[in-house]
Structure 1
Amino acid sequence: MRPAYAACLAVLLAPPADGGAWLETPGQGFAAASASYRQTASGAQHELNYYGAIGITPKLTLGVDLNQTGDLSGHALVFARLPLREGGRYRLAAEAAFGGNHDRGVWMMMQKATLSYGRSFNTGTASGWLAVDAAYELRNNGLAAVWKLDATLGLNRPGKPAPMLQIETSKPDGGVFSYTLTPSLRYPLRSGRELVVGVEHRSAGEGSLGLKLGLWQKF
């Protein structure tokens, strides 16, 4: 994630590395890959994710969002993010994504619209960020709709492991509400990389507990 706050305002307003309401600097970007392994009542399940974004102009960020959950489902999306409010105490951004999703290998069209809120904070003893994303997805050629509300709270500890909490919720139209809680630690590595290690608790009809490993890279 982004470096610790310094005394200067420019560093104070630096965005977290994983986007949300913050746009990437033109010519620079961020990539994240993660793998989750969890035990469910029906057996072991693994999930792979990749996210990559690059700044095109000061007001346009483009990227890709890939997901694969075992051999059951997944998606592949390209997205564009535009700012709605920059600077000040908080930021707002809108994102449109297009691509496809699959159910057991059968691919169909998918669209996604996201409204993101982001805010940096500095209490004098700690600094960090809060990001909230509200999304509406149309899957299966527009036949299945899903509402999502996610939040991330992270702290900065330069050169040391730093805590982060992610909350993800999902409610399909006519379906069951589900949520995932993932407390994590971010370990700084060389060359702007971070190793993210988390414990994932998911409630989606049945509860499950898993381990999540991720690698983040600024470029």
Structure 2
Amino acid sequence: MLTDAAPMYRVLYLLFIMLLASPAWSGAWLRGKDSAFSAASVTVFKEPDQGYDYASALYAEWGAQDNLTIGFDFEENRDLYGHATVFARIPVADLQQKGRFAAEFGVGVHHRYRGAWALYKATLSYGKGYSTGWGNGWVALDASLEYRTHDALYRKLDLTTGLNSARLINPLLQVETAYRSGSSLFWRVRPSAMIRWQDSPTTWVLGLERKDARNDTGIKLAIWSEF
């Protein structure tokens, strides 16, 4: 728990300096050969004693081939717990206007305090574009099995949907859920605004976050970039 705002400002500053060249997770879509994408974020919750609780995340992926995307996913909740994984994504089926499927396989490490253990993850993703009166959009569903050694098998289902019109600001909604036997459902909901100037490779995302572990609302700031 941070005792004042200064450490939080340092975290934000460091993220901006390191990741300013750093838009959404691809899900069922693969990166084109030699193209890349990165996303960096920080989420802040206000603590009752005037301190702050925060989590940071970094995601990056690269198109090694047209049919192979490789990447890295990192998340840290203060220095208490987090994970880091490397992954590979391959196409499964392209149903044209009905959508597409892809599979992703990852291996990495998760930690809690000073203890660290291996994790393994398999994901089946479905994605589809759509059109509305407010512009074109997309929806993605990711169903995962994540085995954390020395912990449990997690069953995850995530939803991402948003618009990608030429407007300066577009809406985005992300819902993440996870379940393990003997526990309640873990969930996070993030409604956000994506801010992108025309022809810019960088998108700023500002949103709110609610989750099962807290009864208040946090603020999330992310930077997405394509290369």
Shorter-chain TM-score tier: 0.7 to 0.9
Residues 40 and 207 of structure 1 are in contact (CA less than 8 Å); yes or no, is this contact kept in structure 2?
Answer: no
Q: Deviations for 1:41-94, whole angstroms, at most 9, x for unmatched residues?
A: 797421111110000111100000001011210111000001101250201000
1:208: which partner in 2?
216
In the alignment, structure 1 residue 38 sits paired with structure 2 residue 45: yes
| Unaligned segments of structure 1, at least 5 residues | 1-15
Amino acid paired to 2:130: F
1:96: which partner in 2?
105
More displaced 10-residue stretch of structure 1: 65-74 or 188-197? 188-197
Question: Shift of the alpha carbon at 1:125?
Answer: 4.5
Q: Secondary structure at the match of 2:216?
A: strand
Greater per-residue helix proportion: 2
- What is the distance in 1 between the residues matched to 2:223 and 2:24? 12
Question: Shift of the alpha carbon at 1:202?
Answer: 1.0
In the alignment, structure 1 residue 163 sits paired with structure 2 residue 171: yes
Question: Shift of the alpha carbon at 1:124?
Answer: 5.1
| Unaligned segments of structure 2, at least 5 residues | 1-22
2:122: which partner in 1?
113
Greater per-residue strand proportion: 1
- What is the distance in 1 between the residues matched to 2:46 and 2:149? 27
2:75: which partner in 1?
67
1:19: which partner in 2?
26
Distance 1:40 1:173, change over 3 A: farther
Distance 1:65 1:184, change over 3 A: same
- What is the distance in 2 between the residues matched to 1:124 and 1:197? 23
Q: Secondary structure at the match of 2:212?
A: strand
2:158: which partner in 1?
150
Q: Deviations for 1:109-150, whole angstroms, at most 9, x for unmatched residues?
A: 011111101000113552100011111111135x41111111
Q: Normalising by the residue count of structure 2, what TM-score does the alignment of the two structures yield?
A: 0.83
2:138: which partner in 1?
129
Q: Normalising by the residue count of structure 1, what TM-score does the alignment of the two structures yield?
A: 0.86
Amino acid paired to 1:133: D
The counterpart of 1:198, out of the listed 178, 203, 207, is: 207
- What is the distance in 2 between the residues matched to 1:25 and 1:106? 38
Q: Secondary structure at the match of 2:178?
A: strand
- What is the distance in 1 between the residues matched to 2:144 and 2:47? 26
Amino acid paired to 2:64: I
